[in-house]
């Protein structure tokens, strides 16, 4: 499957073996419960590569072609470390991913030790706090995702009490903590704190505790494969309050898995401004639809931007020297479809817009950028 995708992508771009190849590693879960997001990430990157190869970039006077080395990490930290080591052994110089914070934490060490320039959307603040110079975050952090959801919940939804549940992953715990901390600062009371796992299917016990606590809403730090069934079980228990979350549940998969008809009453945050409110964003959506016959999900635009950010640095420095590319990106600015990419000393985005979304049927629709 991987080879077919690569060959199709390169053939469409007019690949010639006479041209220099620049191989970019890719890490995301493209099978398993989170496959919808991983495939979305992959296809955002492939769309960028198709465009770049069609445009033609020269490095040192020679035309180059980009390839994507696609790797399925299954959202599993151990598998992610193995893939990172394999990419290092193959002398890959650049990586888009990982997607999950739990994978990015251990894999980023292996990638950094191999001097692989890495672009991740993984949101746990600890990832960039490790101080790895080749690592850049191309999405919002939990600090931004969790706090902005809490601000919206307090100021727009006028909630007074909330129950917080996390899935014990690095992502889930991180975004839930940031939400809970900001909720308290906003004057909300956290009346229940529960946890589950990213493999769980039955949430009856913890939801029964939530019902007893009489919360106005539930915040879930985790992903759609649990968020959807959790919503279904909430409604079965008569819990009709809003379900809140970060970008992990900001996907049509949440609606599909919930099997809830009508208004889902779900709100979630995602890094970046509203794509359909900008000319660049709207054009990206149109190109993505034309290429893949479906709408982009959560982070296709970020992986698309990350690929263009890397290619721009290669073109600007006229080479693939990692140190020069890192310096160029760290000191520069790039205006992508998701927003501006400029970095602080930890290689977090200096300013990342966060958009609050809700659901209309299975469609994830933007409400407000904060």
Q: DSSP of 86-118, one letter per residue?
A: HHHHTT--EEE---SHHHHHHHHHHHHHTT-EE
C-beta of residue 306 within 8 angstroms of C-beta of residue 138: yes
**CA 177, CA 111: separation in Å to the nearest integer?**
27
**CA 330, CA 327: separation in Å to the nearest integer?**
5
pLDDT greater at residue 196 or residue 278: 196
Q: How confident is the model at residue 352 (pLDDT cuts 50, 70, 90)?
A: confident
Query: From the centroid of its chain, how far is CA 24?
Result: 18
From 257, 355, 346, 224, select the one nearest 301 (Cα to Cα): 355
pLDDT in tens, 29-86: 999 989 999 999 999 999 999 999 999 999 999 999 999 999 999 999 999 999 999 9
**CA 283, CA 45: separation in Å to the nearest integer?**
16
Percent of the chain with pLDDT over 90: 86
* DSSP β-bridge partners for residue 203: none
Output DSSP code: residue 242.
Answer: P
Q: Give me the pLDDT at residue 236, please.
A: 97
Q: How confident is the model at residue 7 (pLDDT cuts 50, 70, 90)?
A: very low
**CA 18, CA 7: separation in Å to the nearest integer?**
16
Q: How confident is the model at residue 275 (pLDDT cuts 50, 70, 90)?
A: confident
Q: How confident is the model at residue 18 (pLDDT cuts 50, 70, 90)?
A: low
**CA 8, CA 27: separation in Å to the nearest integer?**
19
Query: From the centroid of its chain, how far is CA 220?
Result: 16
Cα–Cα distances (Å) from 69 to 33, 66, 81, 235, in that order, read 22, 10, 16, 42
Asked if residue 309 has pLDDT above 90, the reply is yes
Asked if residue 9 has pLDDT above 50, the reply is no
Asked if residue 300 has pLDDT above 70, the reply is yes
Cα–Cα distances (Å) from 3 to 45, 92, 227, in that order, read 16, 17, 33
């Amino acid at each position: 499957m991987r080879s077919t995708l690569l060959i199709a992508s390169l053939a469409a771009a007019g690949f010639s073996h006479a041209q220099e190849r620049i191989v970019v590693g890719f890490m995301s879960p493209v099978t398993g419960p989170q496959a919808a997001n991983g495939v979305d990430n992959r296809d955002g990157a492939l769309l960028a590569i198709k465009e770049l190869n069609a445009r033609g970039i020269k490095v040192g006077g020679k035309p180059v072609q980009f390839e994507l080395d696609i790797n399925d990490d299954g959202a599993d930290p151990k598998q992610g470390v193995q893939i990172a080591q394999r990419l290092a052994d193959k002398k890959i110089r650049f990586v888009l991913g990982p997607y999950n914070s739990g994978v990015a934490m251990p894999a980023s060490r292996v990638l950094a030790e191999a001097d692989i320039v890495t672009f991740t959307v993984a949101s746990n603040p600890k990832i960039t706090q490790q101080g790895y110079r080749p690592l850049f975050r191309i999405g919002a952090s939990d600090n931004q995702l969790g706090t902005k959801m809490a601000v919206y919940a307090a100021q727009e939804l006028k909630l007074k009490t909330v129950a917080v549940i996390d899935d014990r992953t690095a992502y889930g715990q991180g975004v839930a903590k940031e939400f809970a901390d900001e909720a308290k600062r906003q004057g909300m009371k956290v009346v229940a704190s529960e946890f589950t796992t990213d493999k769980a299917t039955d949430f009856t016990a913890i939801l029964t505790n939530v019902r007893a606590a009489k919360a106005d809403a539930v915040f879930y730090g985790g992903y759609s494969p649990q968020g959807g069934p959790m919503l279904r079980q909430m409604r079965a228990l008569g819990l009709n309050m809003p379900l809140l979350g970060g970008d992990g549940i900001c996907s049509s998969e949440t609606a599909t898995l919930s099997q809830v008809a009508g208004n889902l009453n779900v709100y979630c945050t995602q890094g970046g401004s509203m794509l359909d409110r900008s000319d660049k964003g709207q054009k990206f959506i149109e190109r993505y639809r034309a290429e893949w016959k479906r709408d982009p999900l959560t982070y296709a635009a970020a992986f698309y931007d990350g690929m263009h950010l890397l290619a721009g640095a290669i073109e600007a420095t006229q080479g693939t020297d990692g140190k020069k590319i890192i310096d160029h990106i760290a000191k520069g600015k790039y205006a992508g479809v998701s927003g501006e990419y400029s970095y602080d000393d930890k290689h977090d985005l200096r300013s990342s817009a966060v958009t609050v979304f809700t659901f209309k049927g299975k469609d994830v629709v933007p409400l407000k950028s904060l």
